[in-house]
Each structure stands twice: as structure tokens, then as C-alpha cells.
Amino acid sequence: MARKDSELTGVKEIARRANVSIGTVDRVIHNRKGVSKKTKDKINAIIKELDYQPNIFARRLASKKQLVFAILIPKVSQETNYWEAPLLGIEQAGAEISPYGITVQPYLYEVNDKKSFLEQVARIDLDQVQGVLLAPSFIEESAHFIKALESKKIPYVFINSDIPGYNSLSYFGPDLYQSGYLSAHLMKYLVKRKEKVLIINISQEIDDQHHLSRKEQGFRNYFKDHKIESPILKIDIQQTDYAHVSKALGQILRKEPVAAIFVTNSRVSTVAKYLKKTKDTQPILIGFDYTKENLVFLKEGIIDFLICQKPREQGYKGLMALYQFVLHSRTGEKNNFMPIDIITSENCDFYIN
């Protein structure tokens, strides 16, 4: 039997069992209005029982309308290649869904530049977009954009970090608080009683980088919850180039001998570079992300641990979640937390990011 006949038979059988018209079944399959909740629930139960799969591919070929998914995330920069991994995941998912008439349109902004973020937002024509995948780096600006999406009923998915309180379709990324909590747990085994620990936030827009503050809060709360007596110091470095970072580090480390350093993002390699050059002190160093720069210092033993959370998978699964919702009306879990992986010099060559 041809696929078209098979599908029609499936719709007919669903309609027969539900005692409704084929048109009513079609409206439910395509999530259209005009069907009561009771009837919709009955039809969906039959669809699930029969494991019915609509021939979306054939329908998308028959439709002349091209669907557009906008991707609003940071671009790869000279400071860090972290965003290369999510982009690879997005490209993989994009290749898989392109036969269904879906175009993936990237809008890439500078990770430290709020103006760049707003410029990319302004380029997105919301009248031509059916879904958005975004990394909300700047809270206020992201919130304004999200409200515009919600006003037009455009579904959106967060990756890498989320903004609580908004009606995103899904979030794929780390549990930021638990990432910091775990990092402090590692520190517990590495520092002696009352030895000082230093938290370092490196970002030009620290006030907007809520994901850094949530990691820091998790780290601090672990020490508090477990009554660890080591004093916690902190510095915020808003000029992210090496010259400014090294100057800030020199000023504090000459005054405050620390046994361990916790860097809240992927710029831990900049701190490692300073420690390698000075050689005055070699504190325990923990940071985030499986980047080329970080791996060099991890293998040299200057970085002790990297906390990694599958950025490529975040990009892939985030885009596929949009596809499943827009084409199949399927929703998954609201929060999809990536595993918290601890990477060392011994296992880094076997890790799949």
C-alpha cells in the first residue's frame, strides 16, 4: 500500500474510533482551533494507542511555505571558541530538518557587546519567523525581545542559560546553581581549613550575566551549608583582555595568598595564562568549558578541573525541540539540564563535548 493510502487509512481509523469526521482529526493533528478539549483528548489518546505518525515530509513538500527558525546566540570570538560547539549542534540539527522545508537563519552577536545583541535582534523579521532559539546573555534586552515573541505567539527555546519567569518552550543547558555547588564540593577536598578561596567573574557585562551570579551563589551556599571555614574572596573583572585580567589578578594575589581559584565561565584560560607566567603561586584552579584554550592549560596541569555541560548537545536538542513543536505539536520537558561533567587532564582526550 502506498504511504499516502496508508496515512489516509490511519486518519480514517482514528475518526471511526473517535466517532468524528476526518476533518476533526486533521484539526487535532495540526493543533488547529475548533475542537473541544474532551474530543481533542479522545483523539490524542487514540493517536497514541495506534502510534500514528503523520507523513510530515510529504505534507511539507506539498506546502509551498518555507518555515524559518531564527538562531540568536553569540559568535565565536578570539577570547573563547566556546560557541563553536553549540553552532555545530545547531548545524547538525539544521541539516536533518532542512528536507521538511525549514530554513535555519543565524543571528550571531558579540558575547560581550549589548549593542551587538540589539543589532541582531533588530535584523530578525518576526513576521517571517516561526520559531527562535536563543541564548539570553543580557537580561533586560532579552526580556524585551521575549515579550515581542510572546505577543506574536512565536515559540522560543533557551540554551546555555535561561531567564526564569518566561514561557519558553524548553531550556537546554546547565543547572547553573548546581554547577557552582559541585565546584565548591570539589574545593572541599583540595583546600585546608581557613585557607582562602577566590571567586573570579570575568565579563564586560557582569551585571547582566545572571548565569555567573547563579554559579557563584551555588558555590557560596555549598560552603555555607557544609560549614566550611575557608574565607571566600571575590573579584569582578570587566575588561576581558589579558592585559587587564593579569593586572587585576596581580593586584589581589600579591595582597591575598589564596589556595584555590574558582572562575565562573570559560575564561579560566586567561587566569591560567597569568599563573603560568608568574609562577609565584600555583593555586588549585577550577573553571568551565571544554575549549581549545582551556584544554592546553588543563593538560599542562595549571587548570585542575573543568566543568563541562554538553554545549553541542544543547544546540542540537534546542533546535530539534522547536522542530517537534512547530511541525508535530509535541512538547517535551520544560527544563532539560545537561549532565555536569568533571574533566581532568586524564580523561579530556576521551570526552565528547
Of 55-64, 212-221, 264-273, the least confident: 55-64
Give me the pLDDT at residue 4, please: 41
pLDDT in tens, 130-183: 999 999 988 899 999 999 999 999 999 999 998 888 999 999 999 999 999 999
- Least Cα distance to 23 among 5, 46, 43, 3 occurs for 43
298 membership: H or E segment, kind and range: helix 292-299
Of 120-124, 205-209, 265-269, 328-332, the least confident: 205-209
The answer to whether 85 and 312 are in contact (CB under 8 A) is yes
Give me the pLDDT at residue 185, please: 97
Give me the pLDDT at residue 322, please: 96
Tell me the CA distances in angstroms from 200 to 105, 113, 285, 325, 328, one per residue in order. 35, 20, 11, 39, 44
71 membership: H or E segment, kind and range: strand 67-74
Distance CA 285, CA 302 (A): 7
- List the domains of the chain with CATH numbers: 3-54 (1.10.260.40), 62-174+311-338 (3.40.50.2300), 176-308 (3.40.50.2300)
For residue 194, what pLDDT band results from cuts at 50, 70 and 90? very high
For residue 5, what pLDDT band results from cuts at 50, 70 and 90? very low
pLDDT in tens, 305-347: 999 999 999 999 999 999 999 988 888 899 999 999 999 999 9
For residue 207, what pLDDT band results from cuts at 50, 70 and 90? low
Give every CB contact of residue 189 below 8 A, 6+ residues apart in sequence.
none
Burial class (CB in 10 A: 0-12, 13-18, 19+), 337: middle
In this model, does residue 20 exceed pLDDT 80? yes
In percent, the amount of the chain with pLDDT more than 90 equals 66
pLDDT in tens, 28-61: 877 777 889 999 999 888 888 887 766 655 555 5
pLDDT higher for 353 or 2? 353
Residue in this structure with the C-alpha cell 474530543, named with its chain if needed: 39
Please compute the mean of the pLDDT values over residues 180-196 and round it to a whole number.
95
- Rounded to two decimals, the pTM is 0.80
